[in-house]
A = this chain, B = another copy of it.
C-alpha cells in the first residue's frame, strides 16, 4: 500500500524508483506521498510497469487517451496508438473505449502497456446498459460498482470517477446559465441518470464503497470534473467551482483512508483565467495533484486543438498543474488516427517541458543547453539527437539539402552563427 508504506516511513522500491527517475531524494517523495501531494498510480495487479510519480516538484507528466468508439472499433488500430503514444513519450495511457469488446480491449492494453493505464468505468456501465437494456439511464448503482471492481481486478492503475457531480452542483449551472451545459461524457451520463432516477450520484453517495475497492487494489482515483466548461464563455463558473469544492472534501476523505487521489480540471479556459484555476484547485484540494484536460484557450481552432491545448497546458503546468491530458488535432471532429495521437503527445510533451524549464524542475534545462551548444557548434547530428522528436527533425532537415553542409537552407552562408564563429576577437 503506497500511502500506508510512506506513512510508516518505509522507503519502498516504488518510491526509490520514482526518486531515482526524478533525481530527487527518497525522503522527499515519501513525505509528499504521505501528504497526498504526490501519487504513484500502480494497481497491485499491474506490476510490471515502470513506477511513475505525479505531483509536487516532479516533472510534468502527459497522458494520451486512446480507445475505440462505436464507429471505429478496430483493436489493432488502438494498440498501434498505444505503441506510438509510448514511443512519443506519453507517461500514461487512458483507454476510453466505447465500442466493440470493451473488456477485451482493456485487458489487451493492460497487458501490452509499459506505462500506467487509466479508464473511465462509467463508460462501460452506460454502454452495456444502452446495449442490454433500453438506454444508458437504466444502469444501476450496483452495475457501476461491479464494473469498477472488475476493472480494478484487471489491473487498471487509475480511474476517473465523477464523484463530485452532485445534484446541487449540476443545478447551479442551470441556475447561472451556460452556453454549452455539460461536455464531459461521464458528466452527461451521470446527470441523465440523476434526472431519470431522481436520485443523488451513487459515486458521491457511496463514496466509501469506492474507497474500499480502490484500497484493495491500491488503485488511484482521478476525481473527474463532470462540469468542466466546454467553451471559453462557460469557464470558471459557479457550477464548476461547486463541484471542485466537493472534490476537495472527497480527496481529503480518500487521503485519510490511504487512497491515492488526483483532481481533474478544466477544460476550455481563457489564458487570463488559467493561473486562478490552478491556484483555487491547489487550495481547495490541499495540494492534491492536478490533472488538466487541458486548458483549450480558444474554441475556434478545430483541427489545431493540439496547439490550443499546448498553449493552455504550458501555462497551467507553469502555475502548478502536474499532469496534462493530451489533445489531438482531431478533437471535436473525429476519433483520432494514429498520426493524430502522435501529434497530440508531442504537442503536450512540448508544453510540459517548457513549463518544467519555467518552474525550475531539476534537469529540465539540460536538454536545451545541449541543443544550444550543438547549434553554436553547427553540430547537426547533435541537434537532431537532442530533439524531442529526432525523427521529425531529421526528416525535415533531410528534405532540403544545403550546399554548405554545416548550415541549413534558410540562411546558407549567411547563417548568423557561422558568420560570427569566424570572429575570435571582437575588440569590444
Residues of A whose CB lies within 8 Å of any CB of B are 69-72, 98-99, 123, 126-127, 130, 136, 167-168, 170-171, 174, 179-185, 187-189, 191-192, 194-195, 198, 230-234, 270-273, 297-304, 306-308, 310-311, 314-315, 318, 329-336, 346-347, 350-351, 353-355, 357-359, 365, 367-369, 371-373, 375-376, 383-384, 386-389, 392-393, 395-397, 399-403, 408-417, 419-420, 422-423, 425-428
Please state if B411 and A98 are interface contacts (CB–CB under 8 Å): yes
CB distance from A204 to the nearest CB of B (A): 13
State which of B232, B334, B350, B375 has its C-beta within 8 Å of the C-beta of A410: B334
A298: nearest chain-B partner, CB-CB = B354
With A354-B308, A428-B167 as known contacts, state yes or no: A302 contacts B376, CB within 8 Å. Answer: no
CB distance from A348 to the nearest CB of B (A): 10
Which residues of the partner chain B approach A386 to less than 8 Å between Cβ atoms?
300
B195 contacts A426, C-beta separation under 8 Å: yes
The residue among A191, A298, A336 with the most chain B CB atoms within 10 A of its own CB is A298
Name 29 A/B residue pairs within 8 A (Cβ), A-sorted.
A70-B413, A71-B400, A71-B402, A136-B414, A179-B376, A185-B411, A187-B416, A192-B420, A230-B372, A231-B369, A231-B371, A231-B372, A232-B365, A233-B368, A271-B314, A271-B354, A271-B355, A271-B358, A272-B318, A298-B353, A299-B368, A300-B353, A301-B346, A301-B353, A302-B387, A302-B392, A304-B392, A308-B350, A334-B399
* Chain B, Cβ-Cβ closest to A376: B180
| Contact between chains at B397 and A333 (CB < 8 Å) | yes
A186 to B386, CA, bound (A): 27
In the complex, the answer to whether A350 meets B400 with C-beta atoms within 8 Å is no
Question: A358 contacts B297, CB within 8 Å?
Answer: yes
Residues of B near A397 (CB, < 8 A) are 333-334
Cross-chain contact B302 with A396 (CB below 8 angstroms): yes
The CA-CA distance from A221 to B191 in the complex, in Å, is: 58
List residues of chain B with CB within 8 A of the CB of A417. 180-181, 183, 188, 230
Most chain B Cβ neighbours within 10 Å, of A188, A384, A408:
A188
| Complex CA–CA separation, A181 to B401 (angstroms) | 26
Minimum CB–CB distance for A230 against chain B, Å: 7
A69: contacting residue among B182, B388, B409, B422, CB under 8 A: B409
Complex-state Cα separation, A99 to B387, whole angstroms: 29
User: Are A301 and B389 in contact, CB atoms less than 8 angstroms apart?
Assistant: yes
B416 with A182: CB separation less than 8 A: yes
Query: Is B189 in contact with A412, judged by CB distance below 8 angstroms?
Result: no
Question: Which residue from chain B places its CB closest to the CB of A297 in the assembled complex?
Answer: B354
- Taking a contact as CB atoms under 8 Å apart, the answer to whether A188 and B302 are in contact is no
In the A-B complex, list the 7 residue pairs whose CB atoms are closest, starting with the nearest: A231-B372, A303-B392, A188-B416, A334-B400, A271-B358, A297-B354, A272-B358
Asked whether B376 lies within 8 Å of A414 as measured between CB atoms, the reply is no
Measured CB to CB, the closest approach of chain B to A351, in angstroms, equals: 7
Evaluate contact between A403 and B372: CB separation under 8 angstroms. no
> Chain B residues with Cβ under 8 A from A307's Cβ?
306-307, 310, 347, 350
For A414, the chain B residues whose CB sits under 8 A away are 70, 98, 123, 126-127, 130, 136, 185, 189
| CB closest chain-B residue, reference A343 | B304
Task: Given contact pairs A167-B428, A304-B347, enumerate 5 new A-B contacts (beta carbons under 8 Å).
Answer: A98-B412, A170-B428, A183-B416, A185-B419, A332-B408
Across the interface, name the chain B residue whose C-beta is closest to A274. Answer: B358
A410–B302 touching, CB < 8 Å: no
**Closest beta carbon of chain B to A279's beta carbon, Å:** 16
A383 and B422 CA atoms in complex are apart in Å by 54
Contact B409 A72 (CB under 8 A): yes
A368 and B314 in contact, given A354-B271, A400-B334 (Cβ under 8 angstroms): no
